[in-house]
């Protein structure tokens, strides 16, 4: 194994200590906190250097490597929160699915879930044993991170189920939707088991030391509100409730989900994630100001010339003004090839906004 670079979180990075957790709780902050979904990853040269030697799953399964990669953007850009380097599909293998990241193809599940027998064949899942390496990475990170809070995460039941059913990524979610429409008993049996597993996974991360958690329902925007209410909401609610009861802030995120936002709020979350398709102020109003919001820069904006990037970041911050409870973020994960110096500039634009709004 590669020796881990000595991690040094400088004073500079912890200047805005506590702002992220305060904003989650809608408490006033001195500046708007900022972190980025997929802030660790291929766009960073430091990460690519590690990926030359290890596969994604090798990194995730070695707590020292996972911790190192998690720390890279914290050291490099001074973001206000770290998010554990992991993958929403990690629970699949312990659940008994034959899962791999195929070269250039993304995730492939060789034995997708199609029938009740497949659901019954899922193995018992105990996150603390099955994914002990994730918990170990969290414990390591809490020692390293000093004052920067650590976010744990999990995929939401719909999004994870869509991979288990389709056998990989999807564009139409045809097999997933048809399971709802044609064999709802199979769907509900799967979601029952899966939501138990994900609730266990998320709370295990909190017990290990995660100071906030995010539930990623990245693909839920493929559904209409009626289907969300019937087939998804109760299961997301179960996972979010389990996390909420631990007392740490819970972020609930989807993309393309404008028409689902009121139902997603009902499902739970102290913070609702917004993508760029809805102006931040409109989205916050739709959700209600009794929740915090996170978002909502189009990740492609991070490739734009810096004056344009600054203008667009300021626009979002302006729309959030007047009340506490905004965490700046992208509306979907940072893309490969994003210039690192633009990510650094974006953090500074957010932190320095109050000086010259």
- The catalytic residue positions are 38, 42, 51, 87, 163
Q: Which two tokens stand for residue 24?
A: 């989650």
SS3 state at 352: coil
Query: Of residues 211-230, which lie at the interface with a copy of itself (CB under 8 A)?
Result: 221, 223-226
| CA dist list (Å): 136 to 34, 147, 266 | 26, 19, 33
Cα separation, 20 vs 102, whole angstroms: 36
Q: Which two tokens stand for residue 140?
A: 């390591």
Q: What is the DSSP letter of 84?
A: -
Contact region for a copy of itself (CB under 8 A) — 16-24, 31-39, 109-117, 255-263? 255-263
CB of 22 to a copy of itself, least distance (A): 28
Does residue 308 bind a copy of itself (CB under 8 A)? yes
Give the residue with the Cβ less far from a copy of itself, 20 or 36. 36
| Given 147, 185, 245, 315, the residue binding a copy of itself (CB under 8 A) | 315
Strand partners, 297: 330
CB of 299 to a copy of itself, least distance (A): 8
Does residue 282 bind a copy of itself (CB under 8 A)? yes
Spatial CA neighbour of 67 closest among 40, 34, 42: 40
Cα separation, 217 vs 155, whole angstroms: 6
CB of 191 to a copy of itself, least distance (A): 18
Give the residue with the Cβ less far from a copy of itself, 242 or 267. 267
Q: What is the DSSP letter of 81?
A: -
Query: Of residues 30-89, which lie at the interface with a copy of itself (CB under 8 A)?
Result: none
Give the residue with the Cβ less far from a copy of itself, 210 or 222. 222
| Given 253, 276, 328, 353, the residue binding a copy of itself (CB under 8 A) | 276
Cα separation, 325 vs 291, whole angstroms: 7
Spatial CA neighbour of 347 closest among 5, 8, 20, 6: 20
Q: Cβ–Cβ contacts within 10 Å for residue 341, how many?
A: 10
CB 166 within 8 A of CB 112: yes
Query: Of residues 172-191, which lie at the interface with a copy of itself (CB under 8 A)?
Result: 172-174, 177-178, 181-182
- Applying CB under 8 A, what is the total number of residues that bind a copy of itself? 29
Contact region for a copy of itself (CB under 8 A) — 64-72, 265-273, 294-302, 339-347? 294-302
Can you give the length of the chain in residues?
Answer: 357
Does residue 168 bind a copy of itself (CB under 8 A)? no
Binding site for a copy of itself (CB under 8 A): 172-174, 177-178, 181-182, 221, 223-226, 256, 258-259, 276-279, 282, 298, 300-301, 303-305, 308, 315, 335
């Amino acid at each position: 194994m590669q020796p881990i670079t000595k991690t040094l979180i400088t004073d500079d990075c912890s200047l805005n200590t506590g702002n992220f957790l305060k904003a989650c709780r809608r408490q006033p902050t001195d500046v708007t906190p900022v972190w980025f979904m997929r802030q660790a990853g291929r766009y960073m040269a430091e990460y690519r250097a590690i990926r030359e030697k290890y596969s994604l799953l090798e990194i995730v399964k070695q707590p020292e490597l996972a911790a190192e990669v998690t720390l890279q953007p914290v050291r490099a850009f001074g973001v206000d929160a770290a998010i554990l380097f992991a993958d929403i599909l990690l629970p699949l293998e312990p659940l008994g699915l034959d899962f791999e990241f195929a070269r250039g193809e993304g995730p492939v599940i060789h034995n997708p879930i199609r029938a009740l027998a497949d659901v019954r064949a899922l193995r018992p899942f105990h996150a603390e044993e099955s994914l002990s390496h994730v918990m170990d990475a969290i414990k390591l990170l809490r020692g390293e991170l000093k004052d920067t809070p650590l976010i744990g995460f999990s995929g939401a039941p719909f999004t994870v189920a869509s991979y288990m059913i389709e056998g990989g990524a999807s564009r139409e979610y045809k097999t997933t939707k048809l399971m709802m429409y044609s064999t709802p008993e199979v769907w509900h049996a799967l979601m029952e088991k899966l939501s138990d597993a994900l609730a266990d996974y998320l709370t295990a991360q909190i017990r290990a030391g995660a100071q906030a958690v995010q539930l990623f329902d990245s693909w839920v925007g493929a559904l209409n509100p009626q289907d969300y209410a019937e087939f998804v909401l109760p299961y997301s609610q179960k996972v979010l409730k389990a996390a909420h009861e631990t007392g740490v802030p819970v972020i609930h995120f989807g993309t393309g989900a404008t028409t689902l936002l009121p139902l997603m709020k009902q499902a739970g979350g102290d913070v609702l994630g917004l993508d760029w398709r809805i102006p931040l102020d409109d989205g916050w109003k739709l959700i209600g100001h009794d929740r915090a919001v996170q978002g909502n820069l189009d990740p492609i904006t991070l490739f734009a010339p810096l004056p344009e990037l600054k203008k667009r970041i300021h626009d979002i911050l302006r729309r959030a003004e007047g009340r506490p409870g905004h965490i700046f973020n992208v509306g979907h994960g940072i893309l490969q090839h994003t210039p690192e110096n633009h990510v650094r500039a974006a953090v500074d634009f957010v932190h320095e906004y109050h000086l010259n709004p």
